[in-house]
Structure 1
Amino acid sequence: MKKKIIFLLAAIVVVSCSTKVKKPEARSKFLKGFSTYYNTLFNAKDALNSEFTARDKEHKDNFYAPYIPILTYEEQPLGSDLGQSAAFAENSMKMAEVNRSASTRSAPGMPPGMPGNNPVPQNADGTENPGASVLEIAEAKALKAINKYSVIRKGEEQNKTIFDAYIILAQSRIYQGKYLPALDALNYVFTHMKEDKRLPLAHVYEALAYAQMKNFHKSEEIFAQLKSEKINKDHEKILSIYYAESLLDAGKKEEAVKELDRAFDLNGNRKLKSRIAFLRGQVLQEQGKSDLARESFLSAYKYANDFEFEVKSQIEIAKTFNGKGNYEGAKDYLEKISKKGTYGSRKNEFYYALGLMANKAGKKTEAQEFFRKSLLEKVSDSQVRGLAYYEIGKSYLEKNDYIGAGAYYDSALVAMTYEPSKILLQDQSNYIKKISKNYYLIKKNDSILSLAKMTEPQKNEYFAKYIEKLKIKEEKEELERRKAERSKGFDTGDYNANSIFANGGGSFEDFGVAAKGFYFSNNNTVSKGSATFKQVWGDRALSDNWRYSKKMASLEDLKNEALGVNTAPNPRRFEPAFYIEQIPTDAARLSQLKKDRDTASLGLGIMYQNYFTNTSLATKTLYDLVDVKPEEKVMLQALYEIFAMNYEKNPQVAARAKQILLTDYPYTSYAEFARNPKNNNFVKSSNEVENAYKTAYSLYESEKFTESQGEIDQIILKYPKDALVPKLSLLNAFNAGKMSGKEVMILQLEQLVLNYAKTPEGIKAKEMLNYLKSDLKFQATDNKGNAVQNNQQMVGNPTNQAGNIPQNKINQQNQIQQNKNVQPMNNQKNGVPKKPQENELQTVPNAVPANPFGK
């Protein structure tokens, strides 16, 4: 029996070492499966596992992104028997070396440089590429295993181990971003291994590849099909994870939460359960379901297997506080755990979380105290430090203290590490700087104008009170200075653990110099000491009491600078006359101050709406501007902005602006807009509207302008959101021009620009206005349409001066009749504007198309 066994083994060795090349159909199924697993395929698996292990070690969760990933590749999430035992892993390097030396020889019948012939990718000249990534090596080795050991008979793969090779090949390609080649590899499995019980795993990676390509429809179709089948539990685990993440990527959050519930139940690994629960909490918190999110974060904390995850889970639990629960109990809990053991190193994060809780509980002052405490603690997370600065800045912004808000926002930008947050905050910081400029200009000019209106006794009384406050302030500062002077020579430093002066030695620190000696004899130690001093104390001038007299600009100094107040002491600062002399008395200068103030106020109101969508504050600011009676163009713009931002959501607030426009400025385009505001949210054009346009256009061609206008008004009233409304309005402007003259046409075009500025018709209307206004002359009128006594002719926009249509143009029918022949279009039926002469503006568009559905 022993002889027979020895003979059989010898025969196996001879056959396996044979140099004769056989076709895939003739290869031994047993031998090839054995060789594949214990030779090339092992190295492919080892390379892939090495990549997963390296990725996990390098993985650092970004808890400020919308979602964390579930898998960090610590455990190979393959769902099939591709993991290696401890003993197998111990021998991996030894076997890899054997295979590496063997792989330098070409396989029988295989030309050098073939992807299946070498364990690592090759250069163009056939040499080995030592710079190949681990995933490229895994891909190349999987291909080699497939090319050398595939056994196909009658269209079916006989070597079942090749399935593992194709899964490794697909994985290595997916993680390199080669999604189509990965699908090609999987298609081979679906074609030649139809009966393999592991096919569901291949379909999981097929769905993953489609999800990575953003083909969520196809991906979900495959995942849903797999869920309806009875599959291996290991396959089901990985399916639930990938399916949940693909649903999130597709924006289907409700379905994703359900799938995460399923993934949590299926997976028993503590780390995976913790990460799944944390992700589920993030999704629920985003949906505003604070109670459910809190439960998920509690589960994440319960199963957490590392300190970082414990801390972040606790902070997220605090964030879910809705202000209605036991705030004092939650506060006491967080304050206690922040003092326990290693949690003490994360005090700054716990104080930040406490600040958020206090805000939700309505305790604004207490919240600010916690945020400031967070800034005083050692930094464990720079993003949290930036967020604490941001929260303090927000409190200043709520009080309209833009200098303070800007200062803290700038600090937040420096500290933050999460780039999307920094981008958003940078925009807000820029907005605040723009608002701040206008805000303090208004305050400064208001103050000057208010002082200018005072009588001489009132001015003296005002500045006498100011001087008394100034004296009290300076006396207090002098007392503090003398107190510090008396303390000179005494050690009043705060020797805490963070201070560079906290060491016990009586001499200067040598800052890394091995041999002790006189500090100032070594230039390197002096340089390092200076840098460390500036880091701790800032850039201080050489003066007595340097620790007390902090030479830094305070927020108060910055505000005074914005208001134009000089903080440097002046010898005459206690004389009322010193201040009174600086108040302007010239009427022209005061008028300019008023104009600057009104323009800044208009900009401020618009910025409140555009930058922060604070409609109520924007409306109040603009109504305050209206009440001080600015010049006409500023008044019109302010009224228009108030009406435009309120007429849909707050019609009662918009009513006053509309009334002023219709009463005081009835002939302006702004009044027209107030009478009939349009909606730009158009739907697809209906057949009825298209037919009505054709009818109106035909009437226009027949010079039946009144009938054409009536048809247009009727159809717009019936279908105000139809896509053809801007085109109908443009045709109506031409009807108005034919019936009432160029000035009325200009009015209609201005309204068209206001209502539909971004449509092609709005753009063309604007171009036509440039042409029509280029030679327009008419008599000046007042706000009521009455002719001004001087008959000076004005050129340009009627709203630039009086903002109205000349009364003589409205009342004199013979002039109107003349205007029908002095129009911006000729008498041809196609309604195309007349061709400008060589000396005229060449900007007239073909606004009314010959084809109703043309440009």
Structure 2
Amino acid sequence: MKISQKYIFTLIIGLIALISCVSHKKKGESSRLSKFYHNTTAKYNGYFNANELLGETILRLNQNHKDNYAQLLPIFPYNAVENVDAEKSNLDKIIQKASIDITLHKKSRWADDCYLLLCKSQYLKKDYETAESSFKYVLDEFTPNNLFNKDKSKKTLIKDKKKTSEDKKKAEKKAKEAAKKKAQDKIKAREKAKKQALKDKKNHKTPKNPTETTETISEPLPSGDKKDKEPKLNNVGSKLFPHTPAFWEATIWAAKNLTERAKYYESEQILRSIAKDPNTPKSTYGDLYATLANNFVRQKNFDQAIEALILATQYTKSKKTKARYAYILGQLYQQNKRPIASDEYFTQCSKLRPSYDMNLHAKMNLLLNKAQSGTPLEDVITQLNKLKKDTKNADYVSEINFTIAQIYYKEKKLPETIDYLNASLWDPSAKPNQKASSYLLLAEINFENQNYLKSKYYYDSTLQSLPKNDERKSLVSKMKNNLDDIAKQIEIITLQDSLIKIGSLSVKERRALAIQIKNEAKAKLVKPQIDRQAMEFNQFQPFGADGVNNKFDAFQDTRNGNAPNSGNPKASNFFAYDQRTLNRGRGEFEQNWGQRTLEDHWRRSNKTSFNFDIAATEETTEETKDSLEADLANILKDIPDDPKKLAEAHGKIQSAMFQLGVLYREKLENFQKSKTTHTDLLERYPKTERKPDVLYYLYLNCLDLNDPGCAASYTDKIIREFPETNYAKSLSDTNYVKALSVSVDVIADGYQKAYQSYNNHQYEQAFTELQIIKTKMPPGHPLMPKVALLNAFCSVYNNQNKDVYINALKDVVAQFPGTPEEIKAKEMIRFLKGDQDAFITVTSQEIEKAQFKMEDENVHFVFVLLFDPPAKQTDKAKIAISDYHQKYHKPENLKMSSLEFDVEKNTSLILIRKFDNRNQAMKYYNGVQRKSNEFIPNITNYEIFAVTQNNYREILRLKSVKEYQAYFNENYLNKKG
């Protein structure tokens, strides 16, 4: 009983003491018990669960990313994943958990960590704009100084205040003593100088004039070694329960976000600032320098990227991450043609035991470096072939073949290079990325050898194999576009040449050739289709690139008694291919059985029992004959079999040869090829209608090839043969020529200066120079489209207004139709409106594959495609369109609906229906073009199309509008409807 009374008494005293302590607490201030509760609950409830979920999400993203070893590997794989839709639900959960934790435990030490989780989730969702504002809030609100001061108690603050005051007094006292001493030292120095001057005067010595040398040192990259004695702010907890603020990690992730938004300078500056901060925790250095390296890589500043990534490797603990950084360093040094340094890091990568595919590619790169460093070629190839034979590498045979091809290519052994590239493409292990690299190298080889037709087809195949986010896509697309017109003219020449040659055959021979073509086409339908784009190259060219129909050549060989040759194939041992054996067997058969018709049951004397369906067979035979005749007529329909058709074929060849020569000059600046093509044209067709133009282009090519004698000869021909042409007048009138050349030089030089100013980011100066050029430029000058386009480019930088830029580009489209500048301006307009595929050219094969149909009299819709619309913009656009309909289309009772067309690219579609036919739909379309300011005011990120009901369904099936855009431009806008 006594024990219980003592216990109760002690408990009461403790409660009174606790209450008295609480009563002295300031209003709004949390008790220690309250702080402990909020800190513990915040950490081990919402924050812990959200952080675990984030770790799992990043792990899955890293696993989902597939590295393309033909390209520089991304430093952060989780950020290289193109589509993160599968993880958005988890990221939303993280945001929700972090938000609840912040709301319930505002005063906990883990509030900044929860905010960081929220920011990271927005970043991983690729919502970079929202993430930027969130990071800004965290960095402003949760600076280490703020947290450190908030966590101090009142007593500590008073002590600090007193200590600061005392330190201030001591500092002032020291400063006074130092000033006094400095004044005394000055007096002593002055007296000493006087005495020295007197001595020098007596000895007639000139006083010494010491010079100071200054050294300018470039700012080094902060290495993380800090010796400053500043107070540590990286622990706002206690010694028993330490807690590091999230500020430094948040800064690093904020820099990652800025890099994604192409704000490279801002990203670099905040990373450098925390690298110099003595309070930055050492555990963050690895991610800090990796982020800095990623920023430099995005800017193609590879030297600084190497420096930053080396530091990242030093401070990173994870072996897997270190191996990745080492591999990337090996790639960067390899790009910079430093094989020894590259070897060091590829070797380091292998020692860190990375994944099997990374280790294998590191070995292949080491062998590639050996080949560059002078190791005998045979030794390197032997080692690569050993890798290829290893059964573990069955999935990498295509890549090993490509590596061998690269080695041969650098040794300028083109036949071997092409063999291994084809082997790389044929192998079943070839993946799309690898195919793209092989196609691209084949395209480049053919381009270098001036095989432009083949090069164009390989560029086509490269584009189809490249992934959407591959940085090579824009360059490949540009090269393919440059070769499109050239390939078209070559195909016209080869086709017409072949048709003319076939037309010279007799009727019987033509028929035999047509049957051969039909049988080959039928065989192709049966043959398995293995990578038709590259493996069966002839499908690209119905007629050979050398100007002669391949089938015609084969037929001619057969006709002349020669066996068709497909590149000297090896002789077969199979008995049926031995001609002597066949002849011997035929002789023996005829001795025994005589001449027999090739038919079923040939050994039977009575075949009546087997002819029970003879009537049906004869009927089928008649139908087959009719079908065959129709097919043969279709094959031979384009053969020029009369003088008029023959003249047309020759006319097409003349026109194509002239255009081809011009294209070689204008598109590729290959003046020798242009000259050769035009010379061939004159040799083949000396009386061509384009002769004056051809002679003038030959004259220009001679000038560009620095051959004045050649230029003079063509000048004489133009003046002698075509004295009435403007070419002759300009070349014969020396004063006119001088004036013209001066004018051309002035305008060309002015344009070059303006273009150089534009490249140097001096946009105002470029704009001013362009205005001067315009005043000197005569109408119809060839540089007018280029000047107009560059003027449009400069306008955006001077006005900072996208609408002004778009209008300037529209002027280029209107004023210079059919020029390369018109195409470029159209692409830029689509890109400014938000079309991510604006610079990707759609091939004719892609359009045909889409199976769009012309149905002018059928029901039509109009749809509006909104590119990357912000929140609620689609609804605003629908309201604006509804108002437009009320004003201009009220009687038509048009209906409207909307849908999310492409979630990945964030494009929305508004469908307007319906119109009776194409003319009605295009009338609506043209009205919108004229009244675009009233249709959807203040919104430019959209495109509008007219479409049939069937074609609309095809667009939805494809989940892409780029094919229909090309189809619409060709069949609706470029035709009168």
Q: Normalising to structure 2: TM-score of the pair?
A: 0.47
- The reply on whether 1:44 has 2:50 as its aligned counterpart is yes
Alpha-carbon distance change, 448 to 304 in structure 1, aligned in 2, over 3 angstroms = same
Paired residue secondary structure (2:308)? helix
Distance 1:356 1:3, change over 3 A: farther
Tell me, in whole angstroms, the C-alpha distance in 2 between the residues paired with 1:644 and 1:211.
Answer: 48
Secondary structure at the counterpart of residue 29 of structure 2:
helix
More helix by percentage? 2
State how many pairs are aligned: 561
CA drift of 1:246 comes to 1.6
CA distance change for structure 1 residues 618 and 246 in 2, over 3 Å: closer, same or farther?
Answer: same
Instruction: Tell me if structure 1 keeps the 8 A contact 2:294–2:305.
Output: yes
Q: Deviations over 1:659-692 (max 9, x none)?
A: 7458733434996755643231234999xxxxxx
Match of 1:246 in 2: 295
C-alpha distance in structure 2 between counterparts of 1:757 and 1:145, whole Å: 58
Contact 2:682 2:688 in 1 (8 A): no
Query: Counterparts of 1:255-270 in structure 2 under 5 Å?
Result: 255-270=304-319
- Whole-Å separation in 1 of the counterparts to 2:729 and 2:476: 43
In structure 1, the gaps of 5 or more residues are 75-129, 152-158, 453-458, 472-476, 478-531, 540-550, 576-581, 687-718, 734-745, 771-855
Asked whether 1:216 is paired with 2:259, we answer no
CA contact (8 A) 1:605 1:622 kept: yes
3-state DSSP class of the match of 2:92?
A: helix
The 5-angstrom pairing of residues 65-80 of structure 1 reads 65-72=71-78
Q: Cα offset for 1:293?
A: 4.3
In structure 1, C-alpha distance between the alignment counterparts of 2:682 and 2:657, rounded to whole Å: 10
Q: Which of 467, 477, 490 is equivalent to 1:439?
A: 490
Q: Would you say the 8 A contact 1:323–1:360 is kept in 2?
A: no
Residue of 654, 657, 667 corresponding to 1:601: 657
What does residue range 697-846 of structure 1 map to in structure 2 within 5 Å? 722-730=769-777, 750=781, 753=784
Deviation at residue 240 of structure 1 after TM alignment: 0.5
The alignment partner of 1:68 has SS state of coil
CA separation in 2, counterparts of 1:768 and 1:297? 55
Shift in alpha-carbon separation, 1:171–1:657, aligned structure 2, 3 A: same
Does residue 167 in structure 1 map to residue 223 in structure 2? no
What SS does the corresponding residue of 1:140 show, helix, strand or coil?
A: helix
Pairwise CA distance, 1:251? 3.9
SS of alignment partner, residue 338 of structure 1: helix
Is 1:63–2:69 an aligned residue pair?
yes
1:211 aligned counterpart, secondary structure = helix
Cα pair distance change 1:291/1:623, threshold 3 Å: farther
1:55-134 alignment runs, 5 A limit: 55-72=61-78, 133-134=89-90
**Percent of residue pairs bearing the same amino acid type:** 17
Deviation at residue 631 of structure 1 after TM alignment: 6.7
Displacement after TM superposition at 1:335 (Å):
1.1
Separation in 1, partners of 2:671, 2:329: 35
1:185 aligns with 2:138: yes
Q: Is the 8 A contact 2:497 2:548 kept in 1?
A: no
Q: 1:408 to 1:553 in 2, by over 3 A?
A: same
Output the CA distance in 2 between the equivalents of 1:556 and 1:131.
Answer: 46
Aligned to 2:386: 336
Give the equivalent residue in structure 1 for 2:706: 652
Q: Secondary structure at the match of 1:652?
A: coil
Instruction: Tell me the secondary structure at the aligned position of residue 317 of structure 2.
Output: coil
- Alpha-carbon RMSD across the aligned residues, in angstroms, is 5.7
Cα deviation, residue 207, structure 1: 2.8
Q: How far is 1:354 from its partner?
A: 0.5
**Shift, 1:316, TM fit:** 4.2
- 1:203 has 2:188 as partner: no
Q: Decide whether aligned partners of structure 1 residues 612 and 306 sit closer, same or farther in structure 2, where only a CA change above 3 A counts.
A: farther
Counterpart residue identity of residue 133, structure 1: S
Paired residues of 1:33 and 1:160 also in contact (CA < 8 A): yes
How far off its partner does 1:49 sit?
1.9
Offset at 1:729? 1.6
Q: 1:375, 1:388 within 8 Å by CA — same for their partners in 2?
A: yes
Alpha-carbon distance in structure 2 between the residues aligned to 1:354 and 1:270: 30
After superposition, the C-alpha distances for 1:97-125 in whole angstroms (9 at most, x for unaligned) are xxxxxxxxxxxxxxxxxxxxxxxxxxxxx
Residues 646, 653 of structure 1: 8 Å contact kept: yes
Match for residue 26 of structure 1 among 24, 27, 30: 30
Could you give the per-residue CA deviations for residues 605-636 of structure 1, whole angstroms, max 9, x where no partner exists? 34335555545434443455467686788455
Q: CA deviation at 1:213?
A: 3.1
2:544 to 545, 553, 559: 559
Matches within 5 A, 1:437-586: 437-439=488-490, 441-442=492-493, 535=528, 558-559=543-544, 563=548, 567=552
Q: Return the letter of the residue paired with 1:378.
A: P
Deviations 1:560-615 (A, max 9, x none): 9974576496999569xxxxxx99996x8877665533322232234335555545
Amino acid at match of 1:608: Y
1:69 counterpart SS class: coil
Q: How big is the shift at 1:256?
A: 1.6
Q: Paired residue for 2:355? A: 306
2:105 counterpart of 1:149 = yes
Q: Which sections of structure 2, spanning at least 5 residues, go unmatched?
A: 81-85, 150-232, 235-244, 517-524, 562-638, 720-726, 758-765, 793-807, 818-977
2:41 match = 35
CA contact (8 A) 1:274 1:301 kept: yes
Aligned to 2:677: 621
**Aligned-pair CA distance for 1:428:** 5.5
Q: Structure 2 CA distance, aligned partners of 1:642 and 1:583?
A: 31
TM superposition shift of 1:239: 0.7
C-alpha change, 1:350 and 1:572, in structure 2 (3 Å) is closer
| Distance apart, 1:350 and its partner CA | 0.6
Summarize deviations over 1:12-40 as a string: whole Å, max 9, x none: 9x99xx9xxx9863253333222222222
Label 1:351 to 1:660 Cα distance change in 2 as closer, same or farther (>3 A): same
- Report if aligned partners of 1:604, 1:618 keep a CA contact under 8 Å in 2: yes
SS at match of 2:327: helix
> For each residue in 1:32-63, what CA deviation from the matched residue of structure 2 results, as whole angstroms up to 9, or x when unmatched?
22222222222222222222222223232233
Q: Deviations over 1:742-767 (max 9, x none)?
A: xxxx7xx6577599575789999999
Q: What residue identity is the alignment partner of 1:142? A: A
1:478-509 CA-partner distances (Å, limit 9, x unpaired): xxxxxxxxxxxxxxxxxxxxxxxxxxxxxxxx
Aligned equivalents of 2:814 and 2:104: distance in 1?
A: 72
Q: Aligned-pair distance for 1:272?
A: 1.5
Partner SS for 1:345: helix
**Contact 1:605–1:619 (CA under 8 A) maintained in structure 2:** yes
Aligned mates of 1:344, 1:259 — CA distance in 2: 36
Give, in whole Å, the separation in 2 of the partners of 1:755 and 1:633.
Answer: 30
Distance 1:564 1:756 in 2: 43
The separation in 2 between residues aligned to 1:552 and 1:210, in whole angstroms, is: 46
- Classify 1:134/1:591 alpha carbon distance in 2 versus 1 (closer, same or farther; 3 Å): closer
Q: Is the 8 A contact 2:490 2:545 kept in 1?
A: no
Structure 1 contact 673–754 (Cα < 8 Å) conserved: no
1:623-653 alpha-carbon deviations (Å, 9 max, x no partner): 5546768678845555666677896xx5615
Asked if residue 667 in structure 1 is aligned to residue 721 in structure 2, the reply is no
1:382 alignment partner in structure 2: 432
